[in-house]
Every structure is written in structure tokens, then in C-alpha cells.
């Protein structure tokens, strides 16, 4: 299956207006240069996911660049008495096409369950957003040999029944590797991604499951990106810390060429 590569930058709770202006402009300039020389947009979709406060401003720099805008979370309701939350309609209004859901930091810090993630993903579908659904195991679960069981369970319970390649991307991020500099081996990543693909096939059938992109995340950086992105069933990367440095992020994007 020839799936287009995807490199998404998750800025997390980082960036003020001036920083975002410089960073987004540098990324766009780099992507446009790669597209003119290497036809990058034919090979890879680039997504930036800044904090809510920066969505409108970053969108200004992404217009007509081929770089898409995503958010880092959302509520499952379109509007209402949900103080501090942001709705899918608000994200669409801000120019988003994508939204990260079920990131381990949301699951841990905000006690989000698989059911909550599935409800949010369904709301994303209904409002024209593509959900980047995150899954991954803790260090303790890995040491206990539970990695596959945990990830498969999260797929089965976090991904809605009507998921497809047009509305869903899956990101495997081992929790113990996020921001730590630690990474699983290539064999480990291939094993988990193969299990995810098999779980998706069980859930929605092979034809549909084979089209869904699977991203790897967890301390992805220029020095290891090419190795990870060349693995079977790894269709791209969800990048955290390295996406806050334009040159590092662009180097990761270049690794798909």
C-alpha cells in the first residue's frame, strides 16, 4: 500500500506570538523550497499543531503553502457550558483540518479514557476534521510485556467504528519515550505497528485498514528520523520537541525524500 508520508509537529504548551511567527514562517519557507526542488507535497503532508492561542496567527503563514493546520485537543460538543474547552466548530473556524486526540499527556493529566477519546474522534468526523488518535504504553506496561495488549485495546476502544483513511490517522507514541530521549528499537516499532495494523484490520476490514496512516512518535529527531520512517508500516512521525526548532523539524521532513 502506497500511503503518503505525514510529518506532524506538536508544539504542546509552547510558543508565544513572536516565537510562533518566526517558527511557522521558517517552516513554511523550508517546505516551499523542498516542494520546488523535490515535489515534497506529492510525497509528504506536513502539519503544524500549535496551542489554541496561536492557531489564527499560524494559519496566516500556512495559507497556500501546502502545510496544514491542526489543534492539540478539543471537546466533543459543538458549543455549550464547557468553560475552558474548545469545540470542533471553533477549530474549523480557526482554519484547522486536523486535531490530535488521546495524547498520553491528555490521558494522564486530564484522565481521558478510551471512551472519551472515541467520543472526541466521532465529533471530529462529524465536523470535518481528521483525528490523529494517539496510543502508547507506559514504561511499567512495557516491562510487564503488555505493550501489544495495551495498544490493541486502545485501538479497539478509542477508534470509532466509522473510522477510515479520510478521517483518521493513528500515532503510536510509547509514553516512556516522549521527551526523554529514549526510543524503542526499530524491531520494537515494527512489531507494534504490525499489531496496530492487524487490530485495524480486525476492526474495519483489510481494505479500509490498509489505507490508514500509522505515525511513530516519541523522541523523534533528525538523527533517527530516517531510520524510523523507513520501517514497514511507519507512514510518518508525530514530532514533539524537535518541531520547536525549524531546522530540526525540516531535517525530519527531508528524511522522507
**173 among known catalytic residues:** yes
| Annotated catalytic residue, options 112, 137, 173, 193 | 173
Report d(CA 61, CA 242) in Å as an integer.
20
Question: CB-based contacts of 92: which residues, under 8 Å, 6+ apart?
Answer: 127, 128, 129
Largest Cα separation within the chain, whole Å, is: 49
**75 among known catalytic residues:** no
| Annotated catalytic residue, options 103, 112, 137, 193 | 103
- Where b means 16+ CB within 10 Å and e means fewer, 110-131 reads eebebebbbbbbbbbbebebbb
- Where b means 16+ CB within 10 Å and e means fewer, 212-225 reads bbbbbbbbbbbebb
Give me the active site residues, please: 103, 173
Amino acid at each position: 500500500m502506497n500511503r503518503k508520508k505525514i510529518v506532524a509537529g506538536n508544539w504542546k504548551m509552547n510558543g508565544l506570538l513572536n516565537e510562533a511567527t518566526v517558527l511557522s514562517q521558517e517552516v513554511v519557507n523550508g517546505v516551499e523550497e523542498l516542494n520546488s526542488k523535490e515535489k515534497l507535497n506529492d510525497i509528504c503532508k506536513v502539519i503544524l499543531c500549535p496551542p489554541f492561542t496561536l492557531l489564527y496567527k499560524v494559519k496566516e503563514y500556512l495559507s497556500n503553502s501546502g502545510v496544514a493546520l491542526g489543534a492539540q485537543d478539543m471537546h466533543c460538543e459543538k458549543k455549550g457550558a464547557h468553560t475552558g474547552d474548545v469545540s470542533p466548530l471553533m477549530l474549523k473556524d480557526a482554519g484547522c483540518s486536523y486535531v490530535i486526540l488521546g495524547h498520553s499527556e491528555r490521558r494522564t493529566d486530564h484522565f481521558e479514557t478510551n471512551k472519551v477519546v472515541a467520543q472526541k474522534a466521532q465529533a471530529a468526523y462529524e465536523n470535518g476534521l481528521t483525528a490523529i488518535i494517539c496510543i502508547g504504553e507506559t514504561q511499567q506496561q512495557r516491562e510487564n510485556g503488555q505493550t501489544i495488549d495495551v495498544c490493541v485495546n486502545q485501538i479497539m476502544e478509542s477508534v470509532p467504528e466509522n473510522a477510515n483513511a479520510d478521517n483518521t490517522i493513528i500515532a503510536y507514541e510509547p509514553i516512556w519515550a516522549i521527551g526523554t530521549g529514549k526510543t524503542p528499537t526499530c524491531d520494537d516499532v515494527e512489531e507494534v505497528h504490525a499489531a496496530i495494523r492487524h487490530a485495524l484490520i480486525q476492526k474495519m476490514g483489510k481494505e479500509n485498514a490498509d489505507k490508514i496512516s500509522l505515525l511513530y512518535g516519541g523522541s523523534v529527531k533528525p538523527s533517527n528520523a530516517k531510520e524510523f520512517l523507513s520501517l514497514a508500516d511507519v507512514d510518518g512521525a508525530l514530532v514533539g520537541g524537535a518541531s520547536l526548532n525549524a531546522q530540526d523539524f525540516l531535517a525530519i521532513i527531508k528524511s522522507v525524500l
